[in-house]
Amino acid sequence: MSVPKAVRQRAGELHRELHEHNYRYYVLDAPVITDAEYDRLLRELQDLEVRYPELIAPDSPTQRVGAAPSKAFGEVRHEQRMLSLDNAFSDAELGDFDRRVCERLEVDAVDYAAEPKLDGLAVSLLYEHGVLTRAATRGDGVTGEDITANVRTIASIPLRLAGRGIPAILEVRGEVYISHRGFERLNLQAVKDGQKPFVNPRNAAAGSLRQLDPKVTAARPLEFYCYGVGRTEGGALPERHSEILVRLRDWHLRVYDGIERVHGLQGCQAYYRKLEAARATLPFEIDGVVFKVDRLDQQDSLGFVARAPRWAIARKFPAQEEQTRVTGIDVQVGRTGALTPVARLEPVFVGGVTVTNATLHNEDEVHRKDVRVGDTVIIRRAGDVIPEVVRVLREQRARGAPVFHLPKHCPECGSAVERVEGEAVARCSGGLFCPAQRREAIKHFASRRAMDIDGLGDKLVDQLVEQELIHDVSDLYRLEVEQIAGLERMAQKSATNLVKALEKSKATTLERFIYALGIREVGEATARILAEAFGDLDALMGADVEDLQVVHEVGPVVAQHISAFFREPHNREVIQRLRGAGLHWQAVEPGAARPLAGRTFVITGTLSMPRSELKERLQAAGARVAGSVSKQTDYVVAGAEPGSKYDKALALGIEILDEAACLALLK
């Protein structure tokens, strides 16, 4: 059957593309496509060669295991070929593999050795009389690179085997990899040294093994697991693959503890599901599970095809990295006002789900990765982790693609966007008004230490917002009993009680009101300091950054947050409506006497009053109330059954007050 011209042309294109990607991955350590994309191209060529066998050429990528070894290292010719594995991407393909095995062996079921497929670099270790004499990469399966000097630096590879029955010549095959923790440390050090971080652990492992200076390799966190043997002479090995691995462990070679012997297709599927569920918790990267017919005599009967054994297969996990295109960059506003750029993507199946969005974290991250609309990108999704853009394929970028910048105004409410110098996150300054922040602003406003609106819980706030009965905190004071009573799990009495609580909350203090506004980094203590320093809300609202920094314990960052909040017209409008609804407080004399200023108190034990009430009274008198006893503590207030704080105060010689003595001090 003649090969159609279009098919022959496509096969030629696939040849060229796959050879180029092999070269980039194995020789340059600089891949430009994902493993999943490479697998798709290879699978397409395999399918064409199955339909048209005359397309198969000796140099076809389907007939090769890897790529040519680098000339930077000496060459090693493998005495037994280091073959690759065929892949199964679905349960159906795994079932086809098992069916072919059973049919060729004329049995109903076989035992398989099941093990994780580590995402590292395959190597061969040659031991002569128990001593490591040579190490090589897989290379193209026939010839690899001599990396003996570098492999000797890997602590998990023994230089001499121990135990009895070691063959005179033993070739061990396994995977060199870098763990998640090691990869994180490696990239942190790279950034610290001003170097480019590695793309993924496997590239880092490959690059580390192929350093011309073994001292560089020794500094990398490389580890090793063995998964089988090649050539052996002068000694007997067990007749099952799983038992060989146990023997290798006895000789002090590192073998993964989770390798199991499973029976039949159901056993394979159960092991695959178990490792798929555990994948995110493993200390290293795996991209699938390898199943090998366990009995060596059955392996011999099954034999090999050109590039892979018939007795083994890799059941691959759904790809965690995929290639797609950025169709847009939107900006989302979070519940705290943080602006997060999000890449809108052409839909792509990755990590078991269809992904259409990926987080870009913040503006600095967008610029660091240089993500632009229209870019072809690699995205990653691992387990339940939010998909993220790993890198941009800049060589595929359209000319003139614009650089992304965050908007200067919030896309939700139009308020000014604030980004304090030195901070990565930009935020909307319309905290009282912004719809994206509405729920959190109302919940904080109603909390016990703020306006203390009894009965206004989180679920009720959610209902009020969802039914659009309130759009900002000022709308709380316009609610009527009938509106509230009509909500889920509310009745006339509870609605009446809430309206009464709202009315009661109108009489408050200036410091509580300032705290209730939810200004970034303005907690109770800072709100109290601001109230005492300015005495009046209008004076505080009119203060500029310089005025604010004059206040004790208000630094430049907090001053910037306060100034930005009150500069925003939307916030001022909400405050005006709150005052119009009747919220009021007694005036505070600026700089009023604070008799306990500079004194530090610690409270312990059970008191007759709520501990929070005593804390507020002490703070109102200028005291600082700490949570632990130290040499800087002036007084410890001890109620009934005091704990270890009381004992520590005694040991340090700190004055201890009972409740009555503390109240007397306050008077």
**CATH number for the domain that contains residue 445:** 1.10.150.20
Q: How many CB atoms lie within 10 A of CB 583?
A: 19
pLDDT of residue 592: 53
Q: Compute the distance between CA of residue 578 and CA of residue 116 in angstroms, rounded to an integer.
A: 62
Contacts of 661 (CB under 8 A, 6+ apart): none
What is the span of the domain harbouring residue 52?
A: 5-63
Q: Compute the distance between CA of residue 57 and CA of residue 63 in angstroms, rounded to an integer.
A: 8
Closest by CA to 207, choosing from 274, 135, 150, 248, is: 150
Percentage with pLDDT > 70 across the chain: 94
Q: Which of 277, 298, 316 is the C-terminal boundary of a domain?
A: 316
**CATH number of the domain encompassing residue 373:** 2.40.50.140
pLDDT at 524 over 70: yes
Same domain membership, residue 201 and residue 112? yes
Provide the pairing of β-strand 169-178 with 121-128: antiparallel
Bridge partner list, 77: 143
pLDDT at 383 over 60: no
Structure tokens at 88: 């199964």
pLDDT at 96 over 90: yes
pLDDT of residue 32: 79
Place of tokens 């000797």: 152
Structure tokens at 505: 């909350």
Q: How far is CA 77 from CA 132, 137, 160, 498, in A?
A: 17, 10, 23, 83
Catalytic residue numbers, as ranges? 117
Q: Is residue 402 part of a domain?
A: no
Same domain membership, residue 140 and residue 233? yes
pLDDT of residue 104: 94
For 265-278, what is each residue's pLDDT tens digit? 999 999 999 998 89
Contact 64, 242 (CB under 8 A): no
Mean of the per-residue pLDDT values of the chain: 87
Range 196-208 average pLDDT = 81
Same domain membership, residue 297 and residue 225? yes
Q: Compute the distance between CA of residue 194 and CA of residue 268 in angstroms, rounded to an integer.
A: 46
DSSP string, 292-340: EESBHHHHHHH-B-SSSBTTEEEEEPPPSEEEEEEEEEEEEE-TTSBEE
DSSP 3-state of 403 = coil
**CATH number of the domain encompassing residue 217:** 3.30.470.30
pLDDT of residue 245: 95
pLDDT of residue 623: 80
Bridge partner list, 79: none
pLDDT of residue 384: 52
Bridge partner list, 263: 111
Q: Is residue 307 part of a domain?
A: yes
Range 554-574 average pLDDT = 89
Range 382-405 average pLDDT = 83
**CATH number of the domain encompassing residue 46:** 1.10.287.610
Q: Is residue 338 part of a domain?
A: yes
For 137-188, what is each residue's pLDDT tens digit? 988 788 888 998 888 888 888 888 888 999 999 999 999 999 999 998 998 8
For 301-340, what is each residue's pLDDT tens digit? 999 876 789 999 999 887 778 899 999 999 988 877 889 9
Contact 114, 269 (CB under 8 A): no
Q: Which of 529, 561, 585 is the C-terminal boundary of a domain?
A: 585
pLDDT of residue 65: 44
pLDDT of residue 67: 46
Contact 263, 111 (CB under 8 A): yes
Q: Is residue 49 part of a domain?
A: yes
pLDDT of residue 306: 65
Same domain membership, residue 564 and residue 625? no
Same domain membership, residue 381 and residue 436? no
Same domain membership, residue 85 and residue 16? no
Place of tokens 């066998």: 53
* Bigger pLDDT: 549 vs 477: 477
pLDDT at 491 over 80: yes
Q: Is residue 580 part of a domain?
A: yes
Contacts of 557 (CB under 8 A, 6+ apart): 420, 422, 521
DSSP string, 556-611: HHHHHHHHHHHH-HHHHHHHHHHHHTT-EE----TT---TTTT-EEEEESB-SS-H
- Sign for the CA dihedral angle at 315, 318, 322, 324 comes to positive
pLDDT of residue 573: 93
Contact 470, 479 (CB under 8 A): yes
Q: How far is CA 265 from CA 86, 87, 509, 662, in A?
A: 17, 16, 72, 76
Q: Compute the distance between CA of residue 626 and CA of residue 447 in angstroms, rounded to an integer.
A: 22
For 501-518, what is each residue's pLDDT tens digit? 999 999 999 999 999 999
Q: Compute the distance between CA of residue 418 and CA of residue 563 in angstroms, rounded to an integer.
A: 11
* Bigger pLDDT: 30 vs 216: 216
DSSP string, 461-495: HHHHHHTTS-SSGGGGGG--HHHHHTSTT--HHHH
Q: How far is CA 620 from CA 507, 537, 548, 616, in A?
A: 18, 18, 20, 6
Q: Compute the distance between CA of residue 131 and CA of residue 358 in angstroms, rounded to an integer.
A: 50
pLDDT at 282 over 80: yes
Q: Is residue 405 part of a domain?
A: no
Q: Which of 316, 336, 351 is the C-terminal boundary of a domain?
A: 316
Range 481-494 average pLDDT = 89
pLDDT at 578 over 90: yes
Percentage with pLDDT > 90 across the chain: 43
Same domain membership, residue 337 and residue 305? no
* Bigger pLDDT: 497 vs 65: 497
Structure tokens at 342: 């999000």
Provide the pairing of β-strand 111-118 with 286-293: antiparallel
pLDDT of residue 354: 85
Q: Is residue 454 part of a domain?
A: yes
Closest by CA to 114, choosing from 17, 16, 257, is: 257
DSSP 3-state of 655 = strand
The domain total for the chain is 5
Amino acid identity, residue 563? S
pLDDT category of residue 590 using cuts at 50, 70 and 90? low
Q: Is residue 590 part of a domain?
A: no
Closest by CA to 173, choosing from 228, 119, 245, is: 228
pLDDT at 283 over 60: yes
Same domain membership, residue 85 and residue 44? no
Same domain membership, residue 275 and residue 133? yes
Structure tokens at 178: 């870098």
For 601-659, what is each residue's pLDDT tens digit? 999 998 888 888 888 788 777 788 888 888 889 999 999 888 889 989 998 999 999 99
Same domain membership, residue 326 and residue 306? no
Same domain membership, residue 449 and residue 338? no
Same domain membership, residue 331 and residue 312? no
Element containing residue 163 per DSSP (H, E)? none
